[in-house]
Structure 1
Amino acid sequence: MSQLEIVMYVGFILSAYSVIGNDVIQTLGTFLSSNEHRKWWVLWIFAASLLTIVLLYGWYVNGGDPTYGRLIGDPPVHSLDNPKYANPVDKEGFGWAYLLPPIVLLIITRFGIPVSTSFLILTFFHPKGLYDMVVKSMSGYLVAFGAAIVVYLFIAKKFEKRFIENPPSAKQKRVWTVLQWFSTGFLWSQWLIQDFANIYVYLPREVSPTTMAFTLVVFLVLLGYIFYSKGGAIQGIVKAKSNTMDLRSATIIDFCFAIILLFFKELNNVPMSTTWVFLGLLAGREIAVKYFAYGNVPNNTLKDLGKDLGKVFFGLAISIGLVFLISFLTGVPMSF
């Protein structure tokens, strides 16, 4: 195996581990919180089955591209003459330095910081795409924030307050369990379509059947570890929000998040930060529930939400800084 291939596959594995460890909690965090009483492998089988279907379907219908066009769409992340075969390994200077983004993301994840993997990973392969990704991601945050305010304007007092003050009955649990698993499956599929690009950016745009089988095994093993460890450090951000461990509240959060991701998926193929969308949704929900259900938003709540947003901008600053560091290490000019 050549050095080039080693960098490709090591980069893929590191990226897969760091992205799954950081981003999976956006989609499965409420699912994990409200299903803590179940065996971890039961939850893993559910998520792993959907991942397998979404990955293999996208790979098959898109001619070997499992990213659903996120790396070869219009505008493409890579701007080589033939974007269908645009590949990071075709770029001059591609080498060990390109392993820095997932390594840094892995370190940051250990501290429970929900940074954007789209910025930390994709920026290095196409710095000029940063502006479009930031614009779309900020739009996602604002849309999610506003949508949460509007939705919870109508349901905060009538439903969420009741959820907080009254645990579900046995009959309600059965009904809401079905609804939650459906909404989680819907959300999980939309997130995968968005974020496969952050991982497969290290591999050719046309993935061979052998490589596809290898990557699927990597995904399933890493996903199993996430479920076994109950989400890791970033799960604390989800649990800190109001009543996210309630089965009914978790279902509503997941469904709203999925609808927003579906909207932006259909809008265009520009990659975006699902982290920003997720935090925008949680922020709008937290403010709406506190204000419409209880009459005021405590200062501590605003401080916590500000810290979450600050962590995201911290990740953006890190990604920009690493672009210049890689440019220095490789000698390849990079411009925004």
Structure 2
Amino acid sequence: MSDSSDNNGLSPIEQFIPTGFYDVIRQERVFIGLIGVFFFIAGVAFPYAELAMWVGFFFAGYSAIANDSIQTIGTFLASNMDKKWWMLWLWIGGIFLLTVTASWFIYDGDVTYQRLTSKGFSEAPTSFSFLQVAAPIFLLILTRMRMPVSTTFLLLSAFSSSAEGITSVLGKSLSGYGLALITGLVVWVVVTRTVEKKFNDEPKKFWLPLQWVISGTLWAVWVMQDAANIAVYLPRSLSLGQFLGFALFIFFGLGLLFYLRGDKIQQIVTEKSRVTDVRSATMVDFIYSILLVYKLSVSTIPMSTTWVFLGLLAGREIGMSIMDGKEEGRPMRKVLFMVFKDVSYALIGLIVSIILAISINAEVRDELLQMIGY
């Protein structure tokens, strides 16, 4: 008699579940278990506003930093793989503390550089729904799937009190993507022709400190833009105790992120051409920081920095591909597929965020339906 478990070497459960799916479940069983625990905690906490506020913030704090790390510190990580993780953490974490402390002092307890003063976000929530507290958990799932989704859309949309708040964020973000794509294309056609073709030799010593300064500047500008995505759960003016809870949690969350070397979503950066070279990484960060400073000065409306970053990388890869005759980039077909994949993932995040927004707020749902003619 043969054992039923000997059917082609598969256990009973493997005979009924596709092998690939079963492997994913087995490899991610700890993460899946944690997600289940997080949903349970969100379900217990959301009726109690004071508790829900901090639970939502804790979830949002790590999930937003983990997903958005590809934009600001992804190239920094990719080109500093030979450095101690705690050295990178103390540099980036220290800049974070200085940046939010400055905002807290200057803007009377506001850590977002007034990003939440625009219409639809100016009032701190006094009660929470389950989906508002659980929204960052969906972001964690998408991050684990290596999807560079917009934390601005996914988190802020859940708290928008009007459809105008969502559409204004969307408009500013899409314009940022277009501007970044064109900038990246033009800059890297010139750069590839004149500079990057010389990157086959070892970089000069000055490139490393220059990259750390530029990456630190970029990180500070990003915090000015995207701290709103995390602080949206909290009062618009934080007391000293609330500020310490906010700042220290993110600081130590960054430590975990650096210990994990960016985790799985870091692949979005490392698959791009030559970003592990300190010179290329520095140039990406420099252009990106200029774009963010420009968009930061335009208005206080929040913006998806993810879309700006993806636009910049897309323009860079296309520009390098145009120079492919000199073997400076990938074939255009592969580049366009990469761009399409990144945008598709970002669109998935946008769709999820809109679904969350209309599920949470009936007024937003009605306004959005009216906008599209229903």
The answer to whether the superposition gives a TM-score over 0.5 is yes
Counterparts of 1:294 and 1:19, CA distance in 2: 39
Quick one: distance in 1 between partners of 2:310 and 2:197?
A: 21
8 Å contact 1:137–1:273 — kept in the other structure?
Answer: yes
CA distance in 2, matches of 1:304, 1:333: 33
CA separation in 2, counterparts of 1:47 and 1:265? 20
Q: Distance in 2 between matches of 1:294 and 1:284?
A: 17
The TM-score, its normalising length taken from structure 2, stands at 0.82
- Post-superposition offset of 1:234: 1.1
Residue 15 of structure 2 is matched in structure 1 by none
1:326, CA displacement in angstroms? 2.5
Which residue number corresponds to residue 252 of structure 1? 283
> Is 2:258 the counterpart of 1:224?
no
Gaps of 5+ in 1: none
Counterparts of 1:32-181 in structure 2, within 5 Å, are: 32-72=77-117, 75-78=118-121, 83=122, 86-89=123-126, 94-126=128-160, 127-128=162-163, 129-163=165-199, 166-169=200-203, 172=204, 174-181=205-212
Matched with 1:210 is: 241
Amino acid at match of 2:279: R
**Greater CA deviation, 188-197 or 284-293?**
284-293
Among candidates 320, 323, 327, match of residue 357 of structure 2: 323
What is the aligned-residue identity percentage? 40
CA RMSD of aligned residues (A): 1.8
Measured after TM superposition, the shift of residue 150 of structure 1 is 1.5
The 8 Å contact of residues 257 and 281 in structure 1, kept in 2 or not, is answered as yes
Q: What TM-score do you get using the length of structure 1 for normalisation? A: 0.91
For 1:253-296, what per-residue CA distance to the aligned partner results, in whole angstroms no more than 9, with x for missing partners?
00000000000000000101000000000000001012125367
Is residue 303 of structure 1 aligned with residue 334 of structure 2?
no
Residues in 2 aligned to 1:232 and 1:274: alpha-carbon distance in whole angstroms: 20
1:195 to 210, 218, 226: 226
Q: Larger radius of gyration, structure 1 or 2?
A: 2
Deviation (angstroms), 1:297? 3.6
Contact 1:7–1:96 at 8 Å: present in 2 too?
no
For 1:211 and 1:294, the matched residues in 2 are separated by 56
Question: Are the equivalent residues in 2 in contact too, given 1:4–1:95 (CA < 8 A)?
Answer: no
User: Structure 1 residues 63-72 or 152-161, which shifts more?
Assistant: 152-161
Shift of residue 76 of structure 1?
A: 2.9
> Quick check: 1:286 aligned with 2:317?
yes
Residues 1:334 and 1:105: Cα distance change in structure 2 (over 3 Å): farther
Letter in 2 for 1:300: K
Letter of the 1:109 partner, please give it. Answer: T
1:29 aligns with 2:74: yes
Q: Which runs of 4+ in 1 moved over 4 A?
A: 331-334
Amino acid at match of 1:266: S
For 1:224-278, what per-residue CA distance to the aligned partner results, in whole angstroms no more than 9, with x for missing partners?
A: 0110000011100100100000000000000000000000000000101000000
Cα offset, 1:22, TM superposition: 0.2
Alpha-carbon separation, structure 2, partners of 1:25 and 1:217: 21
Provide closer, same or farther for how the CA distance between residues 334 and 226 of structure 1 changes in structure 2, counting only shifts above 3 A: farther
* 2:101 alignment partner AA: L
Question: Which AA in structure 2 matches 1:61?
Answer: I
Equivalent in the alignment of 1:185: 216
**What letter matches 2:156 in structure 1?**
L
Q: After the TM superposition, which of the residue ranges 209-218 and 122-131 deviates more from structure 2?
A: 122-131
Supply the distance in 2 between the matched residues of 1:334 and 1:251 (Cα, whole angstroms).
45
What SS class does the counterpart of residue 264 from structure 2 fall into? coil
Per-residue deviation, residues 165-223 of structure 1 (Å, max 9, x unmatched): x1325xx0x11001101110110011000000000000010101001111111011110
Which sections of structure 2, spanning at least 5 residues, go unmatched?
A: 1-44, 369-374
Q: 2 CA distance for matches of 1:132 and 1:219?
A: 27
How many residues were matched structurally?
Answer: 318
* Structure 1 residue 334: Cα displacement: 6.0
1:273 paired with 2:318, answer: no
d(CA) in 1 for partners of 2:316 and 2:364? 44
Q: Is contact 1:323-1:334 (8 Å) kept?
A: no
